[in-house]
């Protein structure tokens, strides 16, 4: 396999981003933070897509993460980020380990449909619950860290720093995972599930674990979005949000752990520009590029990069 320099590149790139973050305007910092949050969700999604499963319901955990942050701040008085994120992880693990029991038996469009149904159930509940602000959602209390309350002006920057650290850890862990036997097992399932079974590996167990990991990543994404934006609403669980994640995953491709991040950033920057210049053609641009990618670059933008030989199989 040769020496693996990806972790070093990842560390260098994200530390550079951290330094750059100190000198760029606030809106750009916010944009980077949101891209990282969405990148995390999509990182979980490509984990599933490498197994041949497309989830149209990652919005479920994205929204769950966001609402846990919001509810613990507003109703339980917990604003400490470390504690809140722990709650988010617990909640996502709990929910996904229950739903995963059912979902690991499903494949192809049935998996897509059932994940979508679950996320729409949450959407349906949130839209109708007045205590949580129904369709408007609600504002999130100012976050703190270990009792330290950052100034309001600086909050964008330190949440950005937090996002960078979480993203870096997630990327490194997932990179190791992709190269582990379990990680390769995913692609084996995509290629031929029955052979995997004959080899003595349980595809259901693998898919179950991947589903839970993807859920936790999505919940982290939602939590970061909530803290950064200071607001949550049920749209986070709507299927169109999940659709956007799938779109980002296809844009970046599943070849590399950093691809979702690049994809998410591209989408956010294009959206910012397009909404400014041509608000009614933004979705058209998205849809058109989706078709072009499926048609010409089925492995995503990442496949345009020249690749080293040992990575061919990845």
Which residues form the interface with another protein (CB under 8 A)? 54, 56, 102, 106, 108-110, 112-114, 116-118, 120-121, 123-125, 127-129, 194, 239-240, 243, 246-247, 250, 280-284, 286-288, 290-291, 294-295, 298
- The radius of gyration computed from the CA coordinates of the chain, to the nearest angstrom, equals 19
Find the shortest distance in angstroms from Cβ 166 to another protein.
28
Q: What does the DSSP assignment read for 230-291? A: SEE-GGGGSHHHHHHHHHHHHHH-SS-TTHHHHHHHHHHHHHHHHHHH-TTSHHHHHHHHHH
Task: CB nearer to another protein: give 164 or 286.
Answer: 286
What is the sign, positive or negative, of the torsion defined by CA atoms of 151, 154, 160, 164?
A: negative
Task: CB nearer to another protein: give 161 or 290.
Answer: 290
Q: Which residues of 31-65 are buried (b: 16+ CB within 10 A; e: fewer)?
A: bbbbbbbbbbbbbbbbbbbbbbbbbbbbbbbbbbb
d(CA 234, CA 237) in angstroms, rounded, equals 6
Identify the H or E element spanning 219: helix 203-229
Task: CB nearer to another protein: give 180 or 283.
Answer: 283
Name which of 279, 222, 226, 277 is nearest 245 in CA terms: 222
Find the shortest distance in angstroms from Cβ 239 to another protein.
6
Which residues neighbour 237 within 8 Å (Cβ) at sequence distance 6 or greater? 59, 60, 62, 63, 64, 119, 120, 122, 123, 126
Find the shortest distance in angstroms from Cβ 298 to another protein.
8
**Cβ pair 64, 217 in contact under 8 A:** no
Task: CB nearer to another protein: give 1 or 199.
Answer: 199
Find the shortest distance in angstroms from Cβ 168 to another protein.
30
Paired residues of 145 in beta bridges: 148
**Cβ pair 157, 22 in contact under 8 A:** yes
Task: CB nearer to another protein: give 32 or 245.
Answer: 245
Q: H helices of 22-130, where? A: 26-49, 59-74, 81-103, 108-128
CA atoms in the 13 A half-sphere facing the CB of 197: 5
Find the shortest distance in angstroms from Cβ 151 to another protein.
39
Task: CB nearer to another protein: give 132 or 258.
Answer: 132
Find the shortest distance in angstroms from Cβ 225 to another protein.
21
Task: CB nearer to another protein: give 59 or 156.
Answer: 59
Task: CB nearer to another protein: give 23 or 198.
Answer: 198
Task: CB nearer to another protein: give 118 or 211.
Answer: 118
Find the shortest distance in angstroms from Cβ 105 to another protein.
8
Number of C-beta neighbours around residue 216 at 10 A: 22
């Amino acid at each position: 396999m040769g020496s693996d320099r990806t972790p070093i590149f990842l560390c260098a790139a994200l530390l550079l981003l951290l330094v750059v973050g100190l000198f760029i305007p606030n809106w750009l910092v916010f944009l980077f933070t949101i891209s990282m949050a969405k990148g995390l969700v999509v990182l979980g999604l490509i984990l599933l897509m490498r197994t041949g499963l497309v989830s149209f319901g990652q919005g479920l955990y994205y929204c769950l993460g966001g609402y846990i942050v919001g509810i613990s701040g507003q109703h339980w008085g917990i604003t400490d980020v470390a504690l809140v994120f722990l709650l988010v992880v617990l909640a996502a693990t709990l929910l996904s380990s229950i739903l995963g029991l059912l979902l690991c038996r499903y494949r192809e469009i049935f998996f897509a449909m059932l994940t979508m149904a679950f996320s729409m159930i949450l959407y349906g509940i949130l839209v109708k619950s007045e205590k949580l602000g129904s369709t408007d959602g609600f504002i999130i209390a100012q976050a703190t860290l270990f009792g330290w309350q950052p100034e309001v002006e600086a909050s964008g920057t330190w949440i950005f720093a937090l996002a960078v650290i979480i993203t870096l850890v997630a990327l490194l862990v997932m990179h190791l995972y992709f190269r582990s036997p379990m990680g390769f097992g995913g692609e084996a399932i995509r290629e031929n599930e029955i052979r995997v079974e004959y080899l003595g590996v349980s595809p259901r167990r693998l898919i179950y674990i991947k589903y839970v990991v993807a859920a936790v990543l999505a919940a982290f994404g939602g939590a970061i979005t909530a803290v950064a934006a200071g607001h949550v609403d049920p749209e986070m669980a709507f299927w169109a949000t999940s659709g956007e994640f799938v779109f980002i995953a296809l844009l970046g491709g599943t070849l590399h752990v950093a691809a979702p991040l690049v994809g998410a950033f591209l989408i956010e920057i294009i959206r910012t520009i397009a909404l400014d210049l041509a608000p009614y053609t933004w979705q058209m641009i998205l849809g058109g590029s989706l078709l072009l990618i499926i048609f010409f670059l089925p492995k995503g933008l990442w496949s345009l990069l020249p690749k080293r030989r040992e990575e061919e199989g990845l």
